[in-house]
A and B are shown apart, each in its own frame.
Chain A
Amino acid sequence: MKRVLLLLIPLVLILAWWFMRKAPLPEDLSTSPDVVESPPPPPTLGDEILGNYANPNSDIRQDLELFQNYLRNVFLLIKKRDTRYYSSNEELAEFLLGKNPHRTPYLSTQSRILNQERQLIDRWDTPLKIHPLSGKVLEIRSAGPDTRYYTEDDFVIK
């Protein structure tokens, strides 16, 4: 029995080496994230609340109300905050993505509300205007379907 085991162990090791050697290696590890599957990031508050943002069956008013509701929830969680962190579109986006006192992302980079430049956008892909009226009130403006700000079809919420 002992002799059999002594013969089997090297055989197993050789087979293991053989199969590992045959496993396909990515050509470029830096550009092949699919090979190593990491667990999906936990859903953020934004993913939960903004799920229907820019849905074809809703409208801009509903979009902004959704976003406003989402912001209120984030601000409820972050009691100690200051407009200097989020007085523009890009700053607010970074704040929601994790550059906040809790160092917690409340929005994922895959969210429909973000474009590739990490700006918060409306359903026509135009960046939203963020206008801090006070520490508690942000005015949020969509440029509307004409994608030009301060025209009649703008939609504003605060």
Chain B
Amino acid sequence: MSSQKTRRDFLQGAPCAALGSSAIMSTLLNLKMANQAVAAGLPSAPGNDRKTLVCIFLHGGIDSYNVIVPRDNARYNSYRNVRTDISLPQDDLLPINQVAGGDGELYGLHPATSAYQELFNGLGGDASKRRLSFIANIGTLVQPTTRADFENEAHALPQNLFSHSDQTEQWQTSLPQGDTRLTGWAGRIADVLHCTHNQNVTSMSLSFAGNNIFQVGRETSQFVMNQNGGLTFSQSSNNESHPTFQKNVAVKSLMEQEYANMMEKAFAELTNQSINEQEFVQEQFDSLDDNFVNTDFPSTSAGRDLKNALRMIQLRPELGLRRQTIFISFGGWDHHSQLLGPQNDRLSELAPAIKAFQDGLEELGLADSVMTFTASDFARTLRSNGGGSDHAWGGNQMVFGEAVDGGKVLGQFPDLTFNDSNPNYVSRGGRIIPSTSVDSLVAELLLWFGLKGSANFETVLPNLNNFYNVANVDASDPSTFPIGFLKPNTF
């Protein structure tokens, strides 16, 4: 294959570079080429497959050892003994039925998560529609780590364990050792795929939770939305007497001036580009009325965010996107003071919204093209602090979608027996060392997403080689996958 770029390749790549380049001179050049490319009406990148990764980030650190709980007597007793007053009654657990390929143990779910139970056991009672699997004891790691490694500081550990912002950042960057110029793994994947898979009309990275590090790339940036669509700069209202309207008209007018100074010109052009993108996205967003899907979404914050996410997934063709990432935040899990009641309230809001999201995808025929996963700062201490729990490390997360081989608990659910000889516990209060790394989860998500080549994986996940060799993957054999939650032949 020739490595020489044709003029067409060059022009197709140019608009993407224009979005991300920080060098003013190259930006000016790229903007000029972008206009040429758009004017030339170049076709979109080849391929019709569309895929979206949705991250639901549970800010605050969810106590995930009360979301999925061992159900057999022996393991439940270990759980009960360590959790004492913050344990769930055994009889209240919602049973889930694992299929072959999981860890073969018995588990139950938090009583407020009947929606997860249905996604795990099969939608509408149909076992062929198992959409959800759990990944047990996953967390930030630089490399596989034992208790001895931790205690002897035998090798690099994630920086600032047990701290909210650091661990949130590390889940979103998958760089627990830090970096001089921090980018998120969704940003880095956009750097690799946006130019080759999307039409460069809008950003590949949509956030419904303000700015985040997750979607910060070196060359690409995120597009922030709220529950009404794009963050409005130019007023959609026609009320000309409104001060905001007048202010925006004035600013836009300024941006449309011809500037001789290159810096001023670049600033004006980039600002205009941003305004135009916002207006374009808003136009598309408004083109679908609220009845675009029949599935009922709960009228909660989580329900509204997930319905809007579904709307933006439905709009992928109009947005020129074959690859898309969506970031949603649902916080309120930092349950130091009281765990049982407040966690029940949060799960009662989140779980039905997640179920509605998956139902909506099924209704619109999009279920096979969307993969959703949960993430959180960290898990919480197994020991009660007197009704609540504190910051810990490895915990349990979910991944769901039609491409997920649902009905499994994957990874290694730890022995919760609380004593000094248990190698899973470190530090104080019952903190569990993760046995599966964030890198492994991300690598499998990216295999499905269409990332190819060891070099690209190394770009997106610099630590992956410490856990997994992507060269060994065989799409038909899940035992060769980093974790094994994908169905065979889905990438």
Contacts and interface: CB of A to CB of B under 8 A. Distances in A.
Nearest to A138: B163
B413 to A, nearest CB: 24
Nearest to A131: B336
Interface in B376-406: 386, 390-391
A125 interface: no
A2 to B, nearest CB: 68
Given A84-B161, A84-B162, A150-B337, A132 B391 contact: yes
A88 B428 contact: yes
Interface residues of A, number: 16
Given A90-B428, A91-B428, A82 B336 contact: no
Contacts of B390: 87-88
Contacts of B160: 82-84, 132, 134-135
A83 B166 contact: yes
A134 B163 contact: yes
A150 B41 CA distance: 61
Contact of B164 (A91, A129, A133, A150): A133
A67 interface: no
| Interface size class of chain B, counting residues whose CB lies under 8 Å from the partner chain | 10 to 19
A129 B385 CA distance: 10
A87 B378 CA distance: 13
B157 interface: yes
B476 interface: no
B429 interface: yes
Interface string B418-462: 000000000111000000000000000000000000000000000
B428 A83 contact: no
Given A91-B427, A131-B336, A150-B337, A82 B159 contact: yes
B337 A132 contact: no
Contacts of B163: 83, 87, 132-135
B61 to A, nearest CB: 11
B165 interface: yes
A155 interface: no
Contacts of B164: 132-134
B29 to A, nearest CB: 40
Given A87-B391, A88-B429, A91-B427, A132 B336 contact: no
Interface in B135-181: 157, 159-166
Contacts of A149: 336-337, 386
Given A129-B336, A131-B336, A84 B427 contact: yes
Interface in A53-86: 82-84
A126 B164 CA distance: 24
A120 to B, nearest CB: 14
Contacts of B429: 88
Contact of B165 (A87, A129, A134, A150): A134
A135 B165 CA distance: 8
Interface string A14-56: 0000000000000000000000000000000000000000000
B156 to A, nearest CB: 11
A154 B338 CA distance: 15
Contacts of A88: 390, 428-429
Contacts of B161: 82-84, 87
Nearest to B159: A82
B151 to A, nearest CB: 11
B429 to A, nearest CB: 7
A91 B390 CA distance: 13
Interface in B205-255: none
A129 B389 CA distance: 12
Contacts of B157: 82, 84
Contacts of B166: 83, 134-135
Contacts of A129: 336
Contacts of A82: 157, 159-161
Interface string B94-113: 00000000000000000000
A152 B163 CA distance: 25
Nearest to A135: B160
Contacts of B386: 149
A148 to B, nearest CB: 10
Contacts of A131: 336
A137 B390 CA distance: 16
A79 to B, nearest CB: 14
Nearest to A134: B165
| Most chain A CB atoms below 10 A, which of B157, B162, B166, B337 | B162
Contact of B162 (A87, A90, A137): A87
A107 B386 CA distance: 28
B472 to A, nearest CB: 33
B200 to A, nearest CB: 36
Contacts of A133: 163-165
A57 to B, nearest CB: 31
Contacts of B427: 84, 87, 91
Q: Which of A82, A83, A84, A132 gathers most chain B CB within 10 Å?
A: A84
A133 B60 CA distance: 10
Interface in B343-390: 386, 390
Interface of B: 157, 159-166, 336-338, 386, 390-391, 427-429
Given A87-B391, A88-B428, 10 more contacts: A84-B162, A87-B161, A87-B162, A87-B390, A88-B390, A134-B160, A134-B163, A134-B164, A135-B159, A135-B166
27 contacts: A82-B157, A82-B160, A82-B161, A83-B162, A83-B163, A83-B166, A84-B157, A84-B160, A84-B162, A84-B427, A87-B390, A87-B391, A88-B428, A90-B428, A91-B428, A131-B336, A132-B162, A132-B163, A132-B391, A134-B163, A134-B166, A135-B159, A135-B163, A135-B165, A137-B165, A149-B336, A150-B337
